[in-house]
Structure 1
């Protein structure tokens, strides 16, 4: 009876081989959607444009988060019962609660860019690996070409040490010129 078994009665590990033979599919054929995305590499102008949009997302999220922190802090600390005769840590309660409200706004201001960056990464999942790779390469270039930190002084800091203001190839070239100019002035001071 085993010799006459139906071809439909196969084990799970035989199924890919069975379909591979009957459909004429090559075993080297792969269905991977990331191969198409990886083939298109971003160039530097596209990278700087995407980087600019990411910073816009961070800025857009910063303002509402700061406002939420301010209003949340003012609602919370404004609703607390205060006794003006009992200072909190040696400070008038109204001044202390006002300071806490400003700290809540500052916390929102600090959290906003992180939320904006996270939202940007979720919305642009396809280009995130390429952007991360180009970020690493760009920051290697910045670290290699910037002025050494020991050459700066408190009155004369290095211009844009981390390359944060670079938004295009033209600005990158200007950044390189500024770094070289600063390096010359620091090493060979004019008398």
Structure 2
């Protein structure tokens, strides 16, 4: 009797995988259609569009650098300007006004460093729907950059490699110019003019 009670449950459990396969939850055609849709979505982002997106991202980073630098400057000036100082007691052997002025400049530098990261983070949040496509193109773009850039061992302190990471590339014209600059630098470094 107990065996008869479990029989419908066993049959229902056996049929569950078939049911899900019929609903395209795990079938090969469902996975194939998803991969086809993903590759089609990837193909939508061509190089011209990608480089335009890079240019906009760089603009966001630049725009956020300015207010972050100013916020660091004003924040440092307000904090260090409000401290009471004795001009006769040096701080680490430095005049207090010079020391606090240097600390204010360091606060401004911290804002300058934080600004691009903050701008890039906000840009990523705003464009989160297309970030998978952009990240895939980023990886491919950086492979091109790594393959075509000049070897860093050829540079000197007075003659650095131009735009080693390709940060300023924002269009196909700028990419072609970057390739020409790299080739010109490579020729000069390998065959120095006498």
| Aligned residue number for residue 66 of structure 1 | 69
Please show how residues 1-191 of structure 1 align to structure 2 within 5 Å: 25-26=23-24, 28=27, 36=37, 39-41=40-42, 42-191=45-194
Unpaired segments ≥5 residues, structure 2: 5-12
Relative distance call for 1:183 and 1:82 in structure 2 (3 A) is same
Structure 1 residue 52 displacement after superposition: 0.8
Structure 1 residue 25 displacement after superposition: 4.0
How far does the alpha carbon of each residue in 1:38-69 deviate from its partner, in whole angstroms, 9 at most, with x for none?
53221111111111111111111111111111
Q: Compute the TM-score of the two structures, normalised by the length of structure 2.
A: 0.79
- Would the aligned equivalents of 2:60 and 2:123 in 1 still touch at CA under 8 Å? yes
Structure 1 residue 88 displacement after superposition: 0.7
Structure 1 residue 185 displacement after superposition: 2.2
SS at match of 2:128: coil
How far does the alpha carbon of each residue in 1:128-182 deviate from its partner, in whole angstroms, 9 at most, with x for none?
1221121111111111111112222223222222212221112212211221222
How far does the alpha carbon of each residue in 1:88-143 deviate from its partner, in whole angstroms, 9 at most, with x for none?
11111111111111111111111011111110111111121221121111111111
SS at match of 1:126: helix
Unpaired segments ≥5 residues, structure 1: 4-12
- Would the aligned equivalents of 1:74 and 1:101 in 2 still touch at CA under 8 Å? yes
- Would the aligned equivalents of 1:37 and 1:126 in 2 still touch at CA under 8 Å? no
